[in-house]
A = this chain, B = another copy of it.
Amino acid sequence: MFKIDNYNKVTIKDVAARAGVSTATVSNVINNSTPVKEKTKELVLKTIKELNYHPDRMARGFKTGKTHTIGLIVPDISNNFFASLIENIESILKERNYQVLIANTHESAKTELDIIKLFTSGMVDGLIIASSMTEYKPLEGVLPKNGRIPVVFLERSVNNCPFDSVMISDYASTAQSVEYLIENGHKKIGFLYGINTISPCIERLNAYKATLLKYHIQINDSYIKNVPLYAFGEIKNLIDEGCTAIVASTNKVTIDAIMYYLNNGISFDKIQLVGYLNDSFASESMTNMLSVLHPIKELASHAVKLLFNRMANPSSNIKNTVLLSRFVKPQNTK
């Protein structure tokens, strides 16, 4: 019985020494880089197992410059939209044998910059970012502009951003939803939205306003509620103010609304609700709700595709893709 050193980490040297070969041979066995005699290979593998040796990823990545890991940066992991996005991206990337590292910025610009610095300093081979930035400027300092690391921006557009991107446009679907409400006699339509600086929220709000104006309905600012955290209070306010319909224009606000409705015995018949959800999920659940559905699988697969294209061809033209969400009426299959 050989006593394994319990204090120090076991390295390639230990394996080599124990097996009576050179570190190069061990390395070759691990990476299949150069043919190794079957007998030696067996011995090395046996020794590796005995010593419970695992190559130091840090050292290896540091040496090779490749980590086979993709960094995924999202602003709010507790928002099911992003959680679901992460899962979709993960499953695609796993097929390609890439590991995913997730970081949550909590909508904080500082954290976002920190994380990007962390990831880009040798930790990942590529980056997918749902940024909480409005302008590209602050990112300039931390994102290797020379294409050293491929980057794809997603879901939230950043002005003047010189990278590939996939966005979702909700303008048309939001307009359709408001139109539907108006056509069904609603005039007092509440609008709940999330962070008022990011592109998707602004776009939806604009669509809401434009549609009201199109139908000559005056915009009432007190029907428009900004919801930084939970929406319960503002939903109550909207109802108290006489709204007969509510557009819950983010995934998070929609979940809040659903809870509020059930908790307070409100039905869709009483106060119409337009909810924003992922299409893959909503088709199974909220079939009787007016919905704006986001193509989350498509978003994920497109982002990954862009990333790998960029890896293969770093100097190709920048691609900006826009996917469309769609407005869906209740199935009423009750």
Q: Give the interface of A toward B (CB within 8 A).
A: 2-4, 6-9, 52, 54-59, 61-62, 64-67, 69, 77-78, 80, 83-84, 86-87, 90-91, 94, 99-104, 106, 111, 114-115, 117-118, 120-123, 141-142, 144, 146-148, 230, 232, 255-256, 258-265, 267-268, 281, 284-289, 334
Question: Contacts of A65 on B, CB cut-off 8 Å?
Answer: 2-4
For this complex, 5 residue pairs linking A to B, each with C-beta atoms less than 8 Å apart, are A7-B144, A58-B61, A77-B86, A100-B104, A101-B101
User: How far, in whole Å, are A121 and B134 apart by their CA atoms in the complex?
Assistant: 36
Which of chain B's residues have a CB closer than 8 A to the CB of A256?
285
A118 and B262 in contact, given A104-B102, A232-B285 (Cβ under 8 angstroms): no
Is B87 within 8 A of A106, CB to CB? yes
Residues of the B chain whose Cβ atoms lie less than 8 Å from the Cβ of A56: 62, 121-122
| Contact yes or no, B259 A58, CB < 8 A | no
- Cβ-defined contact, B99 with A102, below 8 A: no
The answer to whether B284 and A2 have CB atoms under 8 Å apart is no
Count of identical protomers in the assembly: 2
Contact B77 A102 (CB under 8 A): yes
Asked if A59 contacts B62 (CB within 8 A), the reply is yes
| B122 touching A57, Cβ below 8 Å | yes
Q: Which B residues touch A142, using CB under 8 A?
A: 54
Q: Which residues of B have CB within 8 Å of A147? A: 7
Give the distance in Å from the alpha carbon of A118 to the alpha carbon of B267 in the complex: 49
Inter-chain CA distance A104–B267, complex, in Å, is 36
A167 to B144: give the CA distance in the assembly, Å.
43
Residues A117 and B54 in contact, CB atoms below 8 Å apart: yes
Please report the C-alpha to C-alpha distance between residue A52 and residue B258 in the assembled complex, in whole angstroms. 48
In the bound assembly, the distance between CA atoms of A118 and B86 in angstroms comes to 19
Give the chain B neighbours of A83 by CB distance below 8 A. Answer: 77-78, 80, 83
> Which has the most chain B C-beta neighbours within 10 Å: A2, A78, A281, A284?
A78
Q: Name the contact of A263 in the complex, choosing from B8, B59, B287 (C-beta under 8 A).
A: B287
User: A148 is contacted by which of B9, B80, B86, B122 (Cβ under 8 Å)?
Assistant: B9
- Contact present for A115 and B99 (CB under 8 Å): yes
Which residues of B have CB within 8 Å of A103?
A: 99-102
| Residue contact B232 to A284, C-beta cutoff 8 Å | yes
